[in-house]
Amino acid sequence: MSKTTALFASAPLGPLTLPNRLVMAPLTRNRAEADGTPTPLMATYYAQRAAAGLIVAEAATPNAVGQTYPNITAVHSARHVAGWRQVTDAVREAGGRMFLQLQHGGRVGHPATSGLTPVAPSPVPLPETVFTPQGHRPAVVPREMNEEDVRTTVADFARAARNALDAGFEGVEVHSANGHLLHQFLAANTNRRTDGYGGSVAARIRFTAEVAEAVAAEIGAERVGLRVSPGNTVNGIAEGETEEIYPALAERLGGLGLAYLHLVYADPDAPVFRKIRAGWPGVLIANPVLGEDLSTGAVRRASGRLLAAGADLIALGRPFLANPDLVERLRLGAPLNPVRDRYFMYVGGATGYTDYPALGDATAQPSSASSVALDGPRVA
């Protein structure tokens, strides 16, 4: 079986059997209501993409202080659960399967958005502006979490995971990547603590591990994934000891029986990728860096290289965003729709969201005009 053909083979994942090895990566799209409740438009968006082997829905906050930007989703109230239930019902009716990503922004937040001072491992502010309902504003100094805050936040993640299952998700993905709270604990420049959660590599991985362990205890390890982004500098992160942090984290959690480890910015030639693959006993989801080339050939080549290097599943972001029928397009070798970056984040409505055409759709092809750049590195 060729690596391209392998993309369309079934694969086990926890309690599921996926019909293919293509995962829709979590993509923040800012289409929720102001309080974080998912909308009917979101149900349409995800149902359009139900052919993915697995959809990992966009980041949802486990508590109010964890909110990053306006109109992102949450999963800490009954209203949130009811809103998400509309989404999961629509996806299930279309034949799909969904996990929900749980994300706490940590210092990536603002009182103008959440009404609360952000919290973080240490009082080190984000070195850039934060998008708020009033536009971009200077970041504030976060409040350093005490040990009670840590315990409460761990419990909030576990409760949010239970809410996710109540909302109809098959499982959850704990987000420890991209400069958000858990990643801030891993990184030396944002974690200046001298207690049991800072200093050594073993101490810096402790919070991420405790969140994953608590969530696994709440809903079952086979329904829990973990997302990491080794060496990622987005949101002002400078990890230090990257090649020690992630193998140590994989070793601590390797015996837990998690559904998967999700590796962002995955480079099959990087030593840290090889160390993680060698040390992780379970399913590895890899998300390739595609840069500006989002052609069918580029996506298939990047996916094949990662499968050859030991990845089990391939997570794609922008290709799924612009192509509701991405699985079929890749299977046929058909051209992909261009991404309209202008409508990626910080805007609402159907434009650039649910109006991308499928193959054979008679509607106009979307424009490739791009006037608003994506925040952070360009990923798959």
Over residues 79-104, mean pLDDT: 98
Amino acid 373: pLDDT: 33
Amino acid 3: pLDDT: 60
Over residues 12-28, mean pLDDT: 97
Over residues 320-346, mean pLDDT: 93
CA quadruple 190, 196, 201, 206: dihedral, nearest 10:
-90
Position with higher pLDDT, 234 vs 374 = 234
Residue written as token pair 């053909």: 5
Q: What is the pLDDT of residues 169-206, one digit of tens each?
A: 999 999 999 999 999 999 999 999 999 999 999 999 99
- Rounded mean pLDDT of the chain? 94
Q: What is the pLDDT of residues 350-378, one digit of tens each?
A: 999 999 999 988 554 443 433 233 333 43
Give dist(CA 276, CA 261) in Å, integer: 9
Residue 348 pLDDT level (bands cut at 50, 70, 90): confident
Buried b (16+ CB within 10 A) or exposed e, 111-144: eebbeeebbbbbebbbeeebbbeeeeeebbebee
Encoding tokens for residue 264? 């962002």
Q: What is the pLDDT of residues 253-285, one digit of tens each?
A: 999 999 999 999 999 999 999 999 999 999 999
The whole-model pTM stands at: 0.94
Of 94, 85, 87, nearest in space to 19 by CA:
94
Amino acid 4: pLDDT: 67
pLDDT above 80: residue 57: yes
